[in-house]
Amino acid sequence: MSGLSLTSFSLEHGTIPAMVLSTCRWTAHEPLLCEGDLRLTGAETHARIGPLREALIQQGIGHGSTIALLGGSTIALAITLFAALELGAVCCFIHAYEREDHNAAVLRQIEARLLIVGPQDLYRTKGARIAESAGVPVGIVQSDATAIDFGGTVAATAPTALRPVTSDDPAMLLLSSGTTGKPKAILHSHRSLLATAASGPAIYGQCSARDSVAIGMQPSFAAWIFTMLPFFAARARICFSEWTSAQDYLALLAREKITIAALVPTVWRMVVAAEPEQHDLSALQVAFFSGEPGSSRLIDALAVIAPDVRTAYLASEIGCACGIAGGLDVLAQPGKAASVGRPVPNADLRLVDPESDVLRDVAPGETGEIAIRGASLARGYWKNDELTTARFIDGWWRSGDLGLIDADGYVFVKGRIDNRINSGGVKIHAEEVEAALLTHPDIAMAAVVGEPDPQWGERVVAHVVSRNVNLTAAAIGEFCVSAGLLSGRKIPKAIYFHDRLPTGPTNKLYRQALRQKGGPSDAQ
């Protein structure tokens, strides 16, 4: 098939390059990657890997070299990633919207040999400054992924000796998306990434050569690799894009006949409010969300535009083969809209005492810290033995998230341990209060934080975006009490009204900004 020879791969002994070659071979004459007017078959995709690999070799990149990548969701960066992994390099996408001095420090932290930048002008300019500050060469990959321009720069060191890549070799560093301090760099091997690649059906409900998926999130977020790898391995059609509005996204879904759409709930709410019925979404089969708990209102809205609605609990440390997932058959049940389902096949989960340094299970029905194990578990944190020892214990990863398993065996994520509000000794989960507030028909968004209180230590404070300019804090409180949703110290003691709430780079709520700065209030 177009000169491509079949190399078999398996989860036990395979590598990402072997998986890539297999997919390119079986889609040699079929559309595989698309981005705007650029359309590549499997053969065309594979033909671009070799020249990019040779360009990296000439810059001294080889087995064990670390390279950083910066840019948007593009074909060019996806193929550059494949070329680098074929050499045994360790790849790390850096966050495009971080400060340049922060990103330069990240390059030094991960000991990057060079920085590869996407073709857009924004990233070219920013990347040049970051590379200069970090003291590493910078290369610009062309938009059609046919070459990398290093501006005539010659590697200061000779090319690293090449040797075959193995399944246990390190492959990627996924950066935590924290907004302060030194980011965690989470190390994955080819083996763990292949386990993620094989877990598409368990997470997304369907993932085959008949599917097409749109990927618009930044590659620096784990969601990009956790979407791209499963659908590439399944030989599905992948559409890379960077849309700027809900209308743009809906137009993309219709134009490309996307079958699976994945967004965080905050963005989905914008999309379902943008008149999706005005677009032909007949190809859409799955509306997928993760990153925040669902709500009955969100599930109902998504069920109108897709036959199946799915969610999953994923994290950079665990990959897809360790995920917890559920579909509409779970989410549509009474009281299950906020569930994340059950562990996928061959993954395991337990709830442990968050106050204990050892893995001590909590009693059935109690809330505990989520601990997970499975085939796609990361190796640990890059050159951070102390944190790795604390979080990766006997094959389990301690998440820092609180969870509950209900009587039917479905998992509910109750929030971060560090999002608990301690009001007079009563531990209140911010996410629980947010979920209650979002059941009010006039509340579009809600975020809950703790504020210092001289009597109780902390008090519950809510920040909301209202659809009704006449909505008051008193009315919200009365609604929560009369509906039996909240009581006692869980009821917000002050409510701040906003036109919008702050979100981070992944469009999740950024509660830290609300702790730092409140807003006009209508206090109860």
DSSP of 342-378 = EEPTT-EEEEE-TT-SS--BPPTTS-EEEEEE-TT--
Beta partners for residue 140, in sequence order? 117, 149
What pLDDT is attached to residue 5? Answer: 42
What pLDDT is attached to residue 389? Answer: 96
Sole residue written with tokens 């209030």: 521
The model's pLDDT over 94-143, given as tens digits with 9 standing for 90+, comes to 998 888 998 999 999 999 999 999 988 889 999 999 999 999 999 999 99
**Pair of tokens at residue 460:** 């519950």
What is the helix (H) or strand (E) element at residue 339, kind and residue range?
A: strand 339-343
CA distance 226 to 102: 25
- Range with the lowest mean pLDDT among 167-171, 323-327, 507-511? 507-511
The C-alpha angle with vertex 417 and arms to 204 and 188, in degrees rounded to 5, equals: 50
The model's pLDDT over 443-470, given as tens digits with 9 standing for 90+, comes to 998 999 988 887 777 889 999 999 999 9
- What is the amino acid identity at position 234? A
Q: Do 173 and 67 meet the contact criterion of CB atoms below 8 Å apart?
A: no
**Pair of tokens at residue 192:** 């763990």
Please, is 517 exposed, middle or buried when counting C-beta atoms within 10 Å of its C-beta (0-12, 13-18, 19+)? Answer: exposed
H-state helical runs in 27-141 = 42-58, 75-86, 100-109, 121-134
pLDDT band at 415 (very low <50, low <70, confident <90, very high): confident
Instruction: Report the DSSP pairing between strands 380-381 and 457-466.
Output: unpaired
The model's pLDDT over 37-78, given as tens digits with 9 standing for 90+, comes to 999 999 999 999 999 999 999 999 999 999 999 999 999 999
CA distance 141 to 318: 30
H-state helical runs in 376-428 = 385-391
CA distance 267 to 433: 21
Mean pLDDT, range 188-194, rounded to an integer: 97
What pLDDT is attached to residue 117? Answer: 97
Tell me the backbone φ, ψ of residue 498, rounded to 5 degrees: -135, 160
Q: Do 421 and 430 meet the contact criterion of CB atoms below 8 Å apart?
A: yes
Q: Which of 6, 5, 4, 15 is nearest to 45 (CA)?
A: 4
Instruction: Report the DSSP pairing between strands 185-189 and 212-215.
Output: unpaired
Q: Which of 405, 203, 408, 396 is nearest to 317 (CA)?
A: 396
DSSP of 195-251 = HHHTTHHHHHS--STT-EEEE-S-TTSHHHHHHHHHHHHTT-EEEE----SHHHHHH
Whether 435 shows a pLDDT value over 90: the answer reads no
Q: Do 54 and 150 meet the contact criterion of CB atoms below 8 Å apart?
A: no
Alpha carbon 1 to chain centroid, angstroms = 35
Count other Cβ atoms within 10 Å, centred on residue 518.
Answer: 14
**Pair of tokens at residue 363:** 């009693």
Alpha carbon 430 to chain centroid, angstroms = 21
- What domains can be seen in the chain, in order of their start residue? 16-190 (3.40.50.980), 198-416 (3.40.50.12780), 424-516 (3.30.300.30)
The model's pLDDT over 290-314, given as tens digits with 9 standing for 90+, comes to 988 899 999 999 999 999 999 999 9
The model's pLDDT over 196-239, given as tens digits with 9 standing for 90+, comes to 999 999 999 999 999 999 999 999 999 999 999 999 999 999 99
- Range with the lowest mean pLDDT among 80-84, 236-240, 413-417? 413-417
Helices 16-26 and 42-58, packing angle to 10 deg:
150
Please, is 128 exposed, middle or buried when counting C-beta atoms within 10 Å of its C-beta (0-12, 13-18, 19+)? Answer: middle
Kindly state the DSSP code that residue 459 receives in the 8-state scheme. Answer: E
- Range with the lowest mean pLDDT among 1-5, 406-410, 498-502? 1-5
The C-alpha angle with vertex 272 and arms to 269 and 276, in degrees rounded to 5, equals: 160
